Amino acid sequence: MEAFKIEKMGVSLIGEVVPLEARIIAVADSFDAMTSLRPHRRALPLEEVFAQLEKGKGKQFDSNIVEIFLREKVYDTSKNM
């Protein structure tokens, strides 16, 4: 079992106990945050974002979700990066 973990409002869920929807949103939300222009930093280059997602597989993110996200290219690269 993978050790990816979601912690919100004092509740911790680990691995497959985390609902599938939450595992998908975790990857998509992280991608959006890293590729968005923020007041304190520029958007990260896609190569760096992909490396961060890979680094978080099995720890912060569900490995299968990251693999599908990257393989199927289910992300928008048209925004200001």
Instruction: Tell me how far apart the alpha carbons of residues 66 and 38 are, in angstroms, rounded to a whole number.
Output: 23
Over residues 46-60, the pLDDT tens digits come to 999 999 999 999 889
Over residues 30-43, the pLDDT tens digits come to 999 999 999 999 99
- Tokens linked to 23: 């595992």
Sequence ranges of the domains in the chain: 5-71
pTM over 0.75: yes
> How many residues does the structure list for the chain?
81
